Structure 1
Amino acid sequence: MSTHTTPRRRAVRSALAAGVVAALALTGCSTRAEAGSETNAGGDILSIVDQRGETITLDGPAEKVAFAVMPAPSIFAAVDRSYDRIVGINSSTLKANQGGMFATMFPASAESPTIAGNDFIPNVETLLELDPDVVIQWGDSGAEVIDPIENAGFPVVGLEYGTQEDLETWITLFAQVAGKPERGEELVAWQQNEIEEMRAKVAARSEERPRAMMLSRTGDGYGTTTGTGYDGFQFDLVGAELVSQDFVSDSGQVSPEQILTWDPEVIFLSGFDEMTPEDVYADPRLASVTAVAEKRVYKTPLGGYRWQVPSAESPLMWAWMHHVLYPGQDTAEFREDIRAGFDDLFAYQISEDEIDRVLRTDLNAGSADYDQFAR
């Protein structure tokens, strides 16, 4: 049980005008499983339970939303099928927007003000200028990332990260913030249906699961993911054996020797850095790794956001991974799935050239079987 004081939007405006930060006491006792929203008899007030179990009260569907976290803006845009309500984002999100399809679909996203950086500490001065109705922030990263926002008079929806359940909760919360709960239900149902279909497809296979891993550039070395994060779910779902499942590293890096020991058959490259398959193929220390020797290293797609992390586009990532792991089977309709996905998620008619851009066909051209995604 917790008590949370959440400033009301109209009270904030009057308090800031007077130079005083005011708060109205609201009490919320809940768990994440109870996350939901209620509307009062007048049809205006929204009470939303976030992933901290706190109750946040808004004067109605938010018209201006600021995001200190990523990839939350792309998920909110998929819920709203618009970028119109998004007024501020994280600096990492801005970089992804400018480098991918998001700025093409929503030009304003390439110039959005940034309200936080990689440390997620909010820029309160920018928030006061933007005057959002609500701010989306991590709910489990300490008071230093939330208190400055609430002390400035802005309601905060706190999030947690790392599981498919968290992703579906984000979608539900954002739909509530936007006043579109039915849209949230539709997107969650799509995610769940795709999970069931992928599980059935993998269960029907008789061959051994390919050994695979996610690889990133970390300083002058390499980094990877483990089974404790989202990739523990994602790799298992698509029929891969995650070789780094139980890996522990004090330095946050993984050595070439360790990669040689794991000997992955497929390597997926993170979208959070500029490393390409050709960079990996050119590293003599990795030459005898099966994935390198057989040219099975692939840069992960960049659509509305980087596909490798939980997002509204995750079902497309699962399908792409499965096609890479098990090439040459049922790929004919994948480009159409991308086209339909962008239409439904972002109300955008994606072109053939843009699908190539999302799939990184230029960077992956030298990798085995990538021509299966050709138009």
Structure 2
Amino acid sequence: MSKFHSFALALALCASSLFADRVVTDQLGRDVTLPDEVKRIVVLQHQSLNALNELNALDKVVGVQESWEKSLGKNYIRLAPSLKDMPTPGDLKVINYEAVLKLKPDVVIVTNYIPQEYIDKMTELKIPVVAVSFQRSDAADKGKLNPTFKDDEAAYTEGFYDGIELLGKVANREKEAAELISFVKTSQEQLKAKFSDFIVDKRPKIYMANPDLTTYGSGKYTGIMFMRAGAQNVAADSIKGYKQVSAEQILAWAPQMIFVQDRYPQVPAELKSNPQLANLSAVKEDKIYMMPEYAKAWGYPTAEAMALGEWWLAMKLYPKHFDEAEFNKKVEEFYQKFYRTSYK
């Protein structure tokens, strides 16, 4: 073979490798073939959308879920201005096939509990679908909104890291994913070290208040966040997953403090105006606290909740043992590094 032909063959092999397909395994255990470089992503899950923002991959996002603002909060646009006029070809449990096809995505990211029929149809249309759950579970629970785990903390901790690594691979942001995971792990280790310095005699009983008396019970990251911050989720022993409860049930739980997510600013007024809750000590003593945007006490874990939100809650419950100025520096470092802006 001549030198020219050898060079031409080597060049052809190099070119083919540059455009070769690759396979990733999503969190439903499905093998999904993707182009070597993903340039166009449709994201129909707000947790993954937020994570892709932290991985500096929003420049690849061409479509998002319809309810992104409701799920992430009205103020989230500050962290992701490009979402303002973004097409919305579906939502958590539904996909508009025609709208997705118009966007010509390389991949569509969905939640683990989207009905299987949508995944099947997208496969038929030759559009790769990657399901993300941010949890590790048995095969029978992988597609459930309210799964059952042998160990909630292990399921969400390892599952979160799996989800970030997966998104990093999908978006060609492996380095950024590794940096995000490292920041979270370091912060988790530091929080554990803080708690080793003092004894928690009795964990405060706290309640996570969502709109219309909905809350999170066992099997959700919310309880893990509370536990790591030195608190007890009053709903954990009575209900599983995300559910609506009665005022009578909240009275029976008798939480000492109530916390409300930043995305639900209307909830404190709902609680205070409910005559059935008038005698609840947390309401009477005005111990209802709005959480900052990074303290996402959601059903699924997020990087900012694990790295910052658990710290904030622990600091709220045990202020004598935490340095607020030191914590504020950590918050600013996270925002500058992963959102590329200041916290405030």
Relative to structure 1, the CA distance from residue 250 to residue 104 in structure 2 (aligned partners, 3 Å threshold; closer, same or farther) is: closer
Structure 1 residue 105 corresponds to structure 2 residue 79: yes
Instruction: State the distance in 2 between where 1:107 and 1:344 align.
Output: 17
Q: Deviations over 1:148-202 (max 9, x none)?
A: 2222221111222452322211110111112222221221122222222222323
Alignment counterpart, residue 333 of structure 1, candidates 306, 326, 339: 326
Counterpart in the other structure of 2:140: none
Tell me which moved more, 222-231 or 188-197.
188-197
AA aligned to 1:91 is E
Relative to structure 1, the CA distance from residue 126 to residue 279 in structure 2 (aligned partners, 3 Å threshold; closer, same or farther) is: same
Matches within 5 A, 1:173-252: 173-206=166-199, 207-218=201-212, 222-248=213-239, 252=243
Counterpart in the other structure of 1:268: 259
Counterpart in the other structure of 1:89: 64
Q: Is the 8 A contact 1:271 1:308 kept in 2?
A: no
Which ranges in structure 1 are unaligned for 5 or more consecutive residues? 1-39, 355-375
Task: Give the TM-score normalised by structure 2.
Answer: 0.80
Partner SS state of residue 276, structure 2: helix
Q: Deviations over 1:33-81 (max 9, x none)?
A: xxxxxxx9925433211112222222212111111112211101111x2
What displacement does 1:96 show?
Answer: 4.7
Counterpart in the other structure of 1:7: none
Instruction: State the distance in 1 between where 2:50 and 2:236 align.
Output: 28
Instruction: State the distance in 1 between where 2:205 and 2:241 align.
Output: 24
Which ranges in structure 2 are unaligned for 5 or more consecutive residues? 1-14, 136-155
Counterpart in the other structure of 2:271: 280
Tell me which moved more, 339-348 or 158-167.
158-167
Counterpart in the other structure of 2:153: none
Higher helix share: 2
Counterpart in the other structure of 1:70: 46
Q: Deviations over 1:131-154 (max 9, x none)?
A: 111111124443123122222221
Task: Give the TM-score normalised by structure 1.
Answer: 0.74
What is the Cα-based RMSD across aligned positions, in Å?
Answer: 2.5
Structure 1 residue 319 corresponds to structure 2 residue 311: yes
Aligned length: 304
Q: Deviations over 1:249-288 (max 9, x none)?
A: 8993222222122111111124554434344234332233
Q: Is the 8 A contact 2:214 2:242 kept in 1?
A: no
Partner SS state of residue 154, structure 1: coil
Relative to structure 1, the CA distance from residue 250 to residue 157 in structure 2 (aligned partners, 3 Å threshold; closer, same or farther) is: closer
Relative to structure 1, the CA distance from residue 331 to residue 282 in structure 2 (aligned partners, 3 Å threshold; closer, same or farther) is: farther
Percent of aligned pairs with the same amino acid: 27
AA aligned to 1:216 is N
Alignment counterpart, residue 35 of structure 2, candidates 56, 59, 82: 59
Q: Is the 8 A contact 1:235 1:241 kept in 2?
A: yes
Tell me which moved more, 180-189 or 67-76.
180-189
Counterpart in the other structure of 1:15: none
Relative to structure 1, the CA distance from residue 232 to residue 96 in structure 2 (aligned partners, 3 Å threshold; closer, same or farther) is: closer
Structure 1 stretches of 4+ moved >6 Å = none
Relative to structure 1, the CA distance from residue 316 to residue 135 in structure 2 (aligned partners, 3 Å threshold; closer, same or farther) is: same
Relative to structure 1, the CA distance from residue 117 to residue 271 in structure 2 (aligned partners, 3 Å threshold; closer, same or farther) is: farther
Instruction: State the distance in 2 between where 1:268 and 1:216 align.
Output: 9
Structure 1 residue 307 corresponds to structure 2 residue 296: yes
Partner SS state of residue 58, structure 1: strand
